[in-house]
Amino acid sequence: SGLCLEVPGASTAANVQLVQNTCNGRPEQNFRFEVLNAAQQVYLIRALHAENQCVTAASAALSDGIAVSQQACVASLPMHQWR
């Protein structure tokens, strides 16, 4: 799509819904993949501009189109685990 995941306004608050935007390399578009389980390829996606915030699915549902937001990182929650 040529777009990047972004935290609007580089917010460090919880419950901020993430958006797609034109890629610009700013800190609010940079994330780190943290390995939770290498064998199963499960990751936590941590926002670099707000180290305590992780990409979180709105629910643990496996359907398309689920909204994502940033929340305090809790590695044990399925909504914080990505493959």
The answer to whether 66 and 58 are in contact (CB under 8 A) is: yes
pTM for the model stands at 0.88
The answer to whether 54 and 72 are in contact (CB under 8 A) is: yes
pLDDT by residue (tens digit) across 9-56? 999 999 999 999 999 999 999 999 999 999 999 999 999 999 899 999
Q: How many helices (H) and strands (E) does the chain have?
A: 0, 7
Confidence of residue 1 (pLDDT cuts 50, 70, 90): confident
Token reading at 72: 């305090």
The answer to whether 3 and 44 are in contact (CB under 8 A) is: no
